[in-house]
Amino acid sequence: MNDVSLNEEIVELEKKKKELIEEIKKYTKDRKLKSIEYEAVSKLAELDKGEEAKNILKEIRRIEYKISTRPLSPNLERKLVKKVASLEQKLSKLKPYLHAKKRKNVLEKELKKIEEQINRVEEELSSIRKRLKELYSKRKKKSPKVEFQKSKEETLFTLEDVVEIEGLEK
């Protein structure tokens, strides 16, 4: 592998590494937002009004079946319709709890999926970093070592040099 192709591969891998880091940042931000939402929804879902809602739904269905299949007096039918209306009103008050429970399950799945994506990207990022480390070490071995040590004469100033520098400043 020559120096040009080595450098091209390094540049390409560095670019890919930056893209993956940005992807991880995006997933991490999504995870944080979903976690906050999950906590809020969990508190509402913990109040578990599900059984009460099931009972109300069962009662509504039972009454509606009774109204539609049996001959009833108008008075009794009116009472049953009012009862259905009141039960539906109770049920509508419980809907946020039911919705919260469903949303909690959806968020759990989304959070799991995000974690899997983050792990996948981190594995890919790890392999890129490993490859970059190898390439940098190859490049370092190939490049000649340059000594940047100055001689004593170059680092020391004489009084004449100082006078000349001060003379130039005036």
Q: Model confidence over 55-78: pLDDT tens digits?
A: 888 999 998 888 888 888 889 889
Q: Model confidence over 1-22: pLDDT tens digits?
A: 577 788 888 899 999 999 999 9
pLDDT at 163: 63
For residues 5 and 127, what is the distance between their CA atoms, to the nearest angstrom?
19
Helices (H), the chain: 3-45, 50-69, 74-142, 152-155, 159-169
38 C-beta neighbours (distance < 10 Å), count: 19
Among the ranges given (40-44, 86-90, 165-169), the one the predictor scored with the smallest mean pLDDT: 165-169
Classify 3-144 by CATH class.
mainly alpha
Q: Please report, for the chain, the start and end positions of each structural domain, with discontinuous segments joined by +.
A: 3-144
Among the ranges given (65-74, 101-110, 124-133), the one the predictor scored with the smallest mean pLDDT: 65-74
Identify the band that residue 106 occupies on the pLDDT scale cut at 50, 70 and 90: very high
Whether the predicted pLDDT of 110 surpasses 80: yes
pTM of this prediction? 0.61
Distance of CA 167 to the CA centre of its chain: 64
pLDDT at 140: 81
